[in-house]
Structure 1
């Protein structure tokens, strides 16, 4: 069989190239699949940690006095204001902004709720 530039190529040369191309596709596909699984698991683990932190905050707030909660709210608002100033130059994407504000409101609500036992 004569290949490109008039060179004689082995008969199975193109079959090997096709197999290599398929193998490369399979390797790339498997790598992307594995990466997606790793990222998905990491996201689930991160979400689980956030749930635990949220519940810990609620448990701690339930045992704090009203004046302590008021002081915490003031400090929390100051810190959030600083974070928001940092994002003035580059805003969050809309979904992230919504989640960010939702979390702020969630914790402000927790700080303002009556102590429960």
Structure 2
């Protein structure tokens, strides 16, 4: 199962938003409250992990354009920010039942979830 994920931060009271694209379907979450872009990216990855688990995926490929989140989730970069460590732990717990978990960085232009978020906010 391939899942694209992206988180965004918009000015105003709604704050963070996430998008996950899986199987050609876009899953959006709005108004996640105040935060920062890194938190929004982690929330998007967690939403993708929840979708994979709910679908009963045995093999999941998560594609995102946040190199920091991808590398931290892979364990190649240390998660130094104490506020992000619970997200890392939640991701590991959410994917524990999935046989094979793969994460890969993709450029923004190839991230279907990022494209879905950008379409919501034309410039």
- TM-score range normalised by the length of the shorter chain: under 0.3
Q: Tell me the TM-score normalised to structure 2 length.
A: 0.22
Task: Answer 1 or 2: which has greater helix percent.
Answer: 1
Task: Answer 1 or 2: which has greater strand percent.
Answer: 2
Structure number with greater Rg is: 1
Q: Tell me the TM-score normalised to structure 1 length.
A: 0.23
